[in-house]
Amino acid sequence: MSNVRTVAIVAGVIAAIVASAYLVGHHLAPDTARERTARTVAPATGAARPVAAAPKPPIAPAPPMAAQPITGPGRPPLPAERGGPFGSRRTTGTTGVALTFDDGPDPSQTPQALAMLRRYGVKATFCLVGVNVRAFPGLVRQIAADGHTLCNHSWEHDVRLGVRTRAGIRTDLLRTNQAIRDAAPGARVSYYRQPGGAWTASIVAVSRELGMTPLHWTVDPQDWRKPGAGSIASTVNSGTTRGAIVLLHDAGGDRHGTISALRSILPNLGRRFQLCALPPGIDPPRMHGREWPLKLGQI
């Protein structure tokens, strides 16, 4: 009997030791499941369940980048030029040559000029008169669609606009710009050319305040005098040098001599120079080879 009691006591001691070791080991060993997921007790059943991780707040989208200014006060596409009247531009500022057409659009002659330019793959600059823009908005859209640069040429081809008050000048230029943009939505009007080249300090200042470069010229064949296609072509072909701005007309009278002269002018100048539209106002022009790659708006 004593032996049985001894065995029972020993067995109890052993069981107690094993249980103690288990409890110590359980508390010392890491509970990885408990570290991975927090647990709670459901109020209704008392069953343990994992707590869902809190959702991450959505990442706010980056604010849209501000549009790069096209034009604006103090930001004309071309800087003032000392050689031009009152700082107006006489050259492109690069080696490229710019053909410019004044007084349009005209329902007969402008489409002919556009067809000739398209035939030779040349982009030009069209200086538009407000009343003609209002009368023929479809032609303005065609000029813009062909990739030519647009220029303000006053509302009614007012040679004396420069001697008006600054408020009067501003009203005229804004009215013309609005008509051009109404005809060709999204069009940039980054240049102003004074009719007759009758520049004054006031009109240069106002045009710049409105973000437009005052645009003069280098070569003038006086095609408005109707000297004939041969004379117009000879003056342009012989007088054009690198960086020249050439003055031509596609409206304001009978300009068939100018249209005919383009058959000589375009291939002649195209062989000798890069013919290009003036930059529409995205970036200021830079000399070729000075800064690469070229960007939109650079000649």
Beta strands in the chain (DSSP E): 39-41, 48-50, 98-104, 125-128, 149-152, 189-192, 213-214, 245-249
Rounded to whole angstroms, the Cα distance separating 108 from 100 reads 18
What's the pLDDT score for residue 78? 78
What's the pLDDT score for residue 77? 65
151 φ/ψ angles, rounded to the nearest 5 degrees: -140, 140
Residue 272 has pLDDT above 80, yes or no: yes
Q: pLDDT, tens digit, for every residue of 190-240?
A: 999 999 999 999 999 999 999 899 999 999 999 999 999 999 999 999 999
Residue 60 has pLDDT above 90, yes or no: no
What's the pLDDT score for residue 257? 98
SS3 238: helix
Nearest to 266 by CA among 150, 108, 115: 115
Mean pLDDT value of segment 37-53: 41
Residue 161 has pLDDT above 60, yes or no: yes
What's the pLDDT score for residue 31? 41
Is 275:128 a contact under the CB 8 Å cutoff? no
For residue 297, the surrounding DSSP H or E stretch is: none
How sure is the predictor about 80, in pLDDT bands with cuts at 50, 70 and 90? Answer: confident
Least confident of 77-81, 135-139, 163-167, 223-227: 77-81
What's the pLDDT score for residue 76? 58
Mean pLDDT value of segment 76-94: 87
Domain layout of the chain by residue ranges: 87-272
Can you spell out the DSSP letters for 113-141? HHHHHHHHT---EEEE-HHHHHH-HHHHH
How sure is the predictor about 290, in pLDDT bands with cuts at 50, 70 and 90? Answer: very low
Rounded to whole angstroms, the Cα distance separating 102 from 151 reads 9
Rounded to whole angstroms, the Cα distance separating 236 from 284 reads 26
Higher pLDDT, 175 or 20: 175
CATH T-level assignment (fold) for domain 87-272: TIM Barrel (3.20.20)
**Residue recorded with tokens 């032996």:** 3
How sure is the predictor about 291, in pLDDT bands with cuts at 50, 70 and 90? Answer: very low
Rounded to whole angstroms, the Cα distance separating 199 from 104 reads 20
Residue 72 has pLDDT above 60, yes or no: no
Q: pLDDT, tens digit, for every residue of 9-40?
A: 445 544 444 444 444 344 434 444 333 333 33
What's the pLDDT score for residue 83? 87
What's the pLDDT score for residue 19? 43
Can you spell out the DSSP letters for 183-232? HSTT--EEEE--GGG---HHHHHHHHHTT-EEB--SB---GGG---HHHH
What's the pLDDT score for residue 279? 84
Q: How far is CA 264 from CA 114, 146, 218, 257, in A?
A: 15, 21, 19, 12
Q: pLDDT, tens digit, for every residue of 95-133?
A: 999 999 999 999 999 999 999 999 999 999 999 999 999
Percent of the chain clearing pLDDT 70 (strictly above): 68
Contacts of residue 280, defined as CB under 8 A and 6 or more positions apart, other chains included, come to 70, 77, 149, 150, 188, 190, 297
Is 207:168 a contact under the CB 8 Å cutoff? no
Sign of CA dihedral 74, 91, 146, 135: positive
Q: What's the chain's average pLDDT? A: 79
What residues are labeled active site? 102, 249
Higher pLDDT, 280 or 16: 280
107 is written with which tokens? 């329902």
How sure is the predictor about 50, in pLDDT bands with cuts at 50, 70 and 90? Answer: very low
pTM: 0.71
SS3 26: helix
